[in-house]
Amino acid sequence: MSDLNQANGPLPSPEEQVRKYRTIAEDLDRIARGWHPTESELHSAPILRAWRMIEHPVPHLIGTVSGHPRLPDGPIRTSVLLAYDPDRGYARTFSRFYRLESPSPEEGGFIVGFR
């Protein structure tokens, strides 16, 4: 997967990319071995409400976010979904962990603003 420059700024440095991919690999390895983030570990993670998984073209979550470090509160589509456990209330996407609260009550539809 490539990092594309979608903002007005320089491309990430190779060191930043290595750090990002290493963190993803470490998180997925720990999850595969049975570790799950605790509430205190997820304390600073953004909250995703009225969320649901979509698979277009690959799995993502859509919902209403609050507390995201780079995006305003409101509807979002996450980066690629790598692991999630709705019963434990978390998701790991390509970018970060999310705290999952209150899944969408809608079945089979889309959240307003996403198609």
Residue 113, pLDDT score:
42
As a whole number of angstroms, the distance between CA 112 and CA 115 comes to 8
Beta bridge partners of 76: 63
Cα torsion for 36, 31, 89, 70, to the nearest 10°? 110
Phi, psi of 54 (to 5 degrees): -125, 155
Q: Give 58's pLDDT tier (boundaries 50, 70, 90).
A: very high
pLDDT at 16 over 60: yes
Cα torsion for 104, 100, 78, 61, to the nearest 10°? -40
